A and B are shown apart, each in its own frame.
Chain A
Amino acid sequence: KAGVTQTPRYLIKTRGQQVTLSCSPISGHRSVSWYQQTPGQGLQFLFEYFSETQRNKGNFPGRFSGRQFSNSRSEMNVSTLELGDSALYLCASSRRTSGNHNEQFFGPGTRLTVL
């Protein structure tokens, strides 16, 4: 079974530009979550989509947005990029365990550098 895939793997942008990142979840997984990882901050939750609807949202400004398509693939968009947006952006697809818990599987991430 193929894992979570993310494209592109690396991206360099300049301040003020916008960027779109893509994520394809594991086949059969309907939930996709996005995280931002910066040094010393761990993984900060951005948002989660389930069946094309945003189900949860973290504490990020409105410049960060996302969407999910009917095939469960998801995109996240960051507009008006700032230097502080430089980070590794991780996508995770989820399944429910037999105990009805949420278990997430991560993609390799997209490394975004803002100059």
Chain B
Amino acid sequence: DQQVKQNSPSLSVQEGRISILNCDYTNSMFDYFLWYKKYPAEGPTFLISISSIKDKNEDGRFTVFLNKSAKHLSLHIVPSQPGDSAVYFCAASDNYKLSFGAGTTVTVRA
């Protein structure tokens, strides 16, 4: 049972424009959300997180928005750069265990 869903398997964006990645979850017990970035042949690296008591967290070019009522979060990357081309995983935590989405492959076009 997939509790975290990323419905867009891929996203192509022009360099300099905004990338918006979406994630939906079903478990209302999730209280902490994270985004990871993964390059081929490497493990996922932590990007940004947000607690359920907030609705927005910003770190440089990366902003995560959380809408608890809709059980939806999104990651905005502005401006997108070629080095952002990777697979992005959304994850949610209900204390100890992380549940991951299937990932969205982002391709930034020059």
Q: How far is the CB of A102 from chain B (nearest CB, A)?
A: 5
Picked from A40, A56, A103, the residue with its CB within 8 Å of the CB of B34 is: A103
Q: Is A99 an interface residue (CB 8 A)?
A: yes
> Contacts of A92 on B, CB cut-off 8 Å?
43, 98
Question: How far apart sit A65 and B5, CA to CA, in the bound complex (Å)?
Answer: 27
Interface range, B side = 20 to 34
Q: In the complex, how many residues of chain A place their beta carbon closer than 8 angstroms to a beta carbon of chain B?
A: 30
Selected contact of B98 from candidates A33, A40, A108, A111, CB within 8 Å: A33
**Which of the listed residues B4, B32, B42, B44 has the most CB atoms from chain A within 10 Å of its own CB?**
B44
Contact of B100 among A6, A42, A107, A108 (CB under 8 A): A42
Q: 20 additional contacts, CB 8 Å, given A43-B44, A45-B99?
A: A35-B100, A40-B102, A41-B102, A42-B6, A43-B89, A43-B100, A45-B97, A48-B97, A92-B43, A92-B98, A101-B49, A101-B51, A102-B95, A102-B96, A102-B98, A103-B46, A104-B34, A106-B43, A106-B45, A109-B43
Which residue numbers of A lie inside 8 Å of B, CB to CB? 4, 6, 31, 33, 35, 40-45, 48, 50, 55-56, 90, 92, 94, 97, 99, 101-109, 111
